[in-house]
Amino acid sequence: MMRRAKISVIGAGNIGGECARSIAMKELGDVVLVDIAIKDKPELHMPKGKALDLSCCGPVEKFDAKIVGTFDYADTANSDVVVITAGLPRKPGMSRDDLVQINAGIVKGVAEQVAKSSPNAIIIVVSNPLDAMVYVAWKASGFPAHRVMGQAGALDVARYKTFLAWELGVSVEDVQGMLLGGHGDDMVPLPNRTSVNGIPVKELLSAEKINACVERAKAGGGEVVKLMGTSAWYAPSAGTVEMVEAIVRDKKRVIACAAYCEDEYGVAPGAKGKGYFVGVPCVLGSKGVERIIGFKLDGEEQKYMDISISHVKELVGVTTKLYPELG
């Protein structure tokens, strides 16, 4: 009998809980949901409670998966994939940059624990500011770069496709598109490579309407924060689980995610071992990021990509000042 994949989700909040639910429902593997105790309510065990609640969905949703909730990283031992959602969520008025000082320390500690308990795992980072947090997880874990990645493009592209589909009055399934660069405000749109069932979107919408969809996708996370008072969780977890599925089922899916780049897209040409994690199209399979798909950007696209890369470098610079050992 084939061994079932073991997938640990670090952070049992909204995104972590929804990731665990989707992973179980898709029967991608057994799930370990990890969080820390609530200081002023030591009698509560939130991850264990969520795991119990999710387990009882099995008979209704017709899935078989073992779901464990825990405070102890020992329960995550020998995970195949580890999803890191831990960290402070965005609040109204906060930018992703505002989160770096708090979340860098959290992600660093989590990645060190993951390296001890699951040295052969593939890490997917969801914590913000995403591009910098993936870098932190890479350095703190000591894992090879192809086994560390960030969920960003999968979410950003989903928002981009959604807004285009609404504008066009077509199914989201027929919109094909790609975004590069940093997560959120720093994403680099590619309208020239966007189509609707093969028809270039520029033949269907005006430049103004396409740009409006791009801008809304960039600000999509902030729009949700303003409406709900906290970060989104349904779409981020859907994008994350899409990546988990590609890995555990070795699907070789082409998904935009924050992957380690040096020469690719002009991120850090010739700087061996000194690259950065930015959103690029990747082939995801059982080995993690198995290949970065490169293509030539036009002048305007490269200009925006360069700006996005510079912002990623700035954020990483902030983290390495806080934690020089990550440099």
DSSP symbols for 256-277: EEEEEESSGGGSSTT-TT--EE
Q: What is the pLDDT of residue 101?
A: 83
User: Would you give the DSSP letter of residue 90?
Assistant: P
Is 226 exposed, middle or buried (CB count within 10 Å of its CB: 0-12, 13-18, 19+)? Answer: exposed
Q: What is the pLDDT of residue 185?
A: 80
Examine the pLDDT at 2 and tell me if it is beyond 60: no
Find the mean pLDDT for residues 53-80: 97
pLDDT digits (tens, 9 = 90+) for 152-163: 889 999 999 999
Find the mean pLDDT for residues 204-208: 97
Q: Across the strands, what pairs with 276? A: 261
For the chain, the distance separating the N- and C-terminal CA atoms, rounded to the nearest angstrom, is 44
Q: Does residue 278 sit in helix, strand or coil?
A: strand
Q: What is the pLDDT of residue 167?
A: 97
Task: Write down the mean pLDDT value for the chain.
Answer: 93
Q: How far is CA 91 from CA 40, 302, 311, in A?
A: 22, 32, 21
4 Cβ contact partners less than 8 Å away, ≥ 6 residues apart: 29, 30, 65
Helix 234-248 crosses helix 14-25 at what angle (to 10 degrees)?
40
Q: Across the strands, what pairs with 254? A: 283
Identify the CATH assignment for 6-150 out of 3.40.50.800, 3.40.50.720, 3.65.10.10, 3.60.15.10.
3.40.50.720
Find the mean pLDDT for residues 271-284: 92
Q: Which residue stretches of the chain are H helix? A: 14-25, 46-55, 58-61, 100-117, 130-141, 153-168, 207-218, 220-228, 234-248, 299-322
Q: What is the pLDDT of residue 313?
A: 93
Q: What is the pLDDT of residue 23?
A: 97
The pLDDT-based confidence of 189 (bands split at 50, 70, 90) is: confident
d(CA 28, CA 5): 7
Q: What is the pLDDT of residue 96?
A: 59
Better-scored residue on pLDDT, 218 or 115: 115
* Other Cβ atoms within 10 Å of 262 Cβ, number: 18
The pLDDT-based confidence of 327 (bands split at 50, 70, 90) is: confident
d(CA 48, CA 67): 9
Q: Across the strands, what pairs with 279? A: 181, 258
The pLDDT-based confidence of 94 (bands split at 50, 70, 90) is: low
**For the CA atoms of the chain, what is the radius of gyration?**
19
| 275-302 CB burial, b ≥16 within 10 A, e <16 | bbbbbbbbbbbeebbeebeeeebeeebe
The pLDDT-based confidence of 170 (bands split at 50, 70, 90) is: very high
Q: What is the pLDDT of residue 92?
A: 65
Q: What is the pLDDT of residue 183?
A: 84
Examine the pLDDT at 1 and tell me if it is beyond 60: no
Is 236 exposed, middle or buried (CB count within 10 Å of its CB: 0-12, 13-18, 19+)? Answer: buried
Examine the pLDDT at 97 and tell me if it is beyond 80: no
Q: What is the pLDDT of residue 230?
A: 87
Q: CA angle at residue 207 from 201 to 212, to 5 degrees?
A: 95
Residue 146 near residue 285 (C-beta atoms within 8 A): no
Q: What is the pLDDT of residue 256?
A: 94
d(CA 152, CA 161): 14
Examine the pLDDT at 316 and tell me if it is beyond 60: yes
Better-scored residue on pLDDT, 327 or 227: 227
Q: What is the pLDDT of residue 233?
A: 94
Better-scored residue on pLDDT, 271 or 292: 292
* Residues catalogued as catalytic: 183
Q: What is the pLDDT of residue 173?
A: 97
